[in-house]
Structure 1
């Protein structure tokens, strides 16, 4: 691939640390430079995509509002690790955004097709 493209691996649960918010901030920042950005939700990051989150009780801001704005920044390729969903008993119907479900082979292709990979 000749142009710069960025794959951001989202690995952290939505709350309890700043990693999820940091990853979203990095994605938004990268998009300003007009580099194509793909987000891949893996491990406990799949919880970031659940509908109807109410983190106010733990003093956190809801990440869904930021996620809903991703298309405004031309970040429209959101992928989710199939095995991460199934290991947590989740389905795509429970997610707040449309995602592309990917298996291990597709994850390897994603990593190979992007010029830069960032992990949070």
Structure 2
């Protein structure tokens, strides 16, 4: 049986390659039917906002990658309630569905459910 994988994405989409790399790992794992989920934490929740204007920062837009996750079987997407609140964001303004918003104690339980965890 394949080991389950949780990918924790903690970087904003415009601060470097980490956000894109986390999505690439998720898409590759989904293509191989690996049981996996993504958790957006800290500045990683900024990836979930629509209209990123990545071109102005000479970056590639990750919106298409986010929306492709479900096509690759990555349906377990989570965001940290505290991270959203600290950035003045609410679940209704985010660009990803389905998305479960978790409180801190729920995040600890989520991490414990997975065999392997990658943090980018």
Question: TM-score scaled by structure 1?
Answer: 0.94
Equivalence for 2:62: 63
CA contact (8 A) 2:31 2:73 kept: no
Following TM superposition, by how much is the alpha carbon of 1:61 offset from its aligned partner in structure 2, in angstroms?
A: 1.2
Shift of 1:3: 4.8
The aligned length equals 119
Alignment gaps of 5+ in structure 1: none
Is 1:5 equivalent to 2:7 in the alignment? no
User: Any runs of at least 4 consecutive aligned residues in structure 1 with deviations exceeding 3 A, and if so which?
Assistant: none
User: Following the alignment from structure 2 to structure 1, what is the Cα–Cα distance between the partners of residues 2 and 56?
Assistant: 43
| Alignment deviations for residues 71-109 of structure 1 (CA, whole Å, 9 cap, x no partner) | 111001110000000011110111001210001111111
1:17 aligns with 2:16: yes
CA RMSD between the two structures: 1.1
CA distance in 2 between partners of 1:117 and 1:60 (Å)? 27
What's the TM-score once normalised by structure 2's chain length? 0.94
Aligned-partner Cα distance in 2 for 1:74–1:109: 22
- Partner in structure 1 of residue 112 of structure 2: 112
Q: Which runs of 5+ in 2 are unaligned?
A: none
